[in-house]
Chain A
Amino acid sequence: MSLSPPDPRPAPPHADASRELLARLTRPDDDDEYAAADRGGPSSRVGLATATAALAVLLTVAAVQTQAAQPQDERDREVLLERLAREKTEVAVLGARAESTAAEVEELRASTLEATETVQALQAQLDTQGATVGSAPVRGPGVRVVVDDSDDGAPEGTITDSDLQQLVNGLWKAGAEAIAVNGQRLTTLSAIRTAGQAITVNYRSLTPPYTVAAIGDPETLPARLLETAAGQMFSDLSINFGVQFEVEAASELGLPAGSRLELDVATASTKGGDGA
């Protein structure tokens, strides 16, 4: 600061403000209190003593304070170091816990996957059994057999419940895997019987003509049906009494799920019965 000589020239009015400030700061003569003071006033010895005492107190207190703060700083540092070490151990512990938790999660995920596979297998099994029992809708190729009363309404030419039973039995024998009569799926609880004037299946009255849809091998099913007693019987009825009897292969049949499949008395059992 002392290197820059004082600038005696007055600063130009539009001089850079910050430069002017710097110039003022480095020119102590400009704001020298003593040079500008009105000397000759009453001098106060008490004031001087007080001021110097205050100065001394200030400096001493500052020194003492700084001295006293040193051990405190040291202690603070130690406390901080201790806390750092503690936090580090905690971080390590938490890290280990995170690792074990991740392993646990992995394990649970694997077991969940396993359970999902089991559920899927069970579902597949259920679907297969539902299709067999009749509680699930099924699709597939098969035959459609349409039978109807004869046109003249003679009693010999009227289809009875036992005729339909024979036809259904014949279809089962011929290799059918699922059968529905007029849209009523035959289940393990289905009965074909006469109630009043009509034939009922699953407690639903049917009206002629009766369409018996059976899923099975469409190439062998019609021929094997005709070889059964039921097939023979319906051929005879058709020839002798004018009963309508048509068998046609279908490449795609859809059978609905059967109704009324609730069991009231029977419960599932894993033990095989002796049938008695």
Chain B
Amino acid sequence: MIAVLGLLVGVLLGLFLEPSVPLALQPYLPIAVVAALDATFGALRALLDGIFDDRVFVISFVSNVLVAALIVYLGDQLGVGSQLSTGVVVVLGIRIFSNVAAIRRKLLHA
């Protein structure tokens, strides 16, 4: 319940405040989104497994986004930002795929 409330508040905040992303942070937005999606799908799978824990979700969500942004930032400083972004997206993408596959197995038994 509280999660749905938070979701609603977040959507409304994003829609009405229309925070413009500074140009310097532009490249981190897609990475942050992918990292957040990874955490979300992990949480969804844990929920279906019956082992969901909100503390773990919060920590994994925050740390995923931060670490992904940090890696890309480091890559930018080293001049290999786009390559590291690709690496992060690939790793997180694989994790998302395997989580979704687990969710699918759980839901559809296939």
Contacts and interface: CB of A to CB of B under 8 A. Distances in A.
Interface of A: 1-2, 25-28, 32-35, 37, 39, 41-45, 47-65
B2 A45 contact: yes
Contacts, number: 136
B55 A47 contact: yes
A57 B10 contact: yes
A57 B21 CA distance: 12
Secondary structure type dominating chain B contacts? helix
Interface of B: 2-11, 13-15, 18-19, 21, 29-30, 32-33, 36, 39-40, 42-43, 45-46, 49, 51-58, 60-62, 65, 91, 94-95, 97-99, 101-102, 104-105
B51 A55 contact: no
B52 A60 contact: no
Given A54-B10, A55-B40, A63-B14, 6 more contacts: A34-B51, A34-B53, A39-B51, A53-B10, A54-B61, A58-B32
Contacts of B10: 52-57, 60
Q: Most B CB atoms within 10 A — which of A1, A49, A50?
A: A49
A57 to B, nearest CB: 5
B6 A52 contact: yes
Nearest to A40: B53
Contact of A49 (B2, B49, B61): B2
B6 A51 contact: yes
Top 7 A-B residue pairs of the complex, sorted by shortest distance between their CB atoms: A56-B10, A60-B14, A52-B6, A49-B6, A53-B10, A34-B46, A2-B101
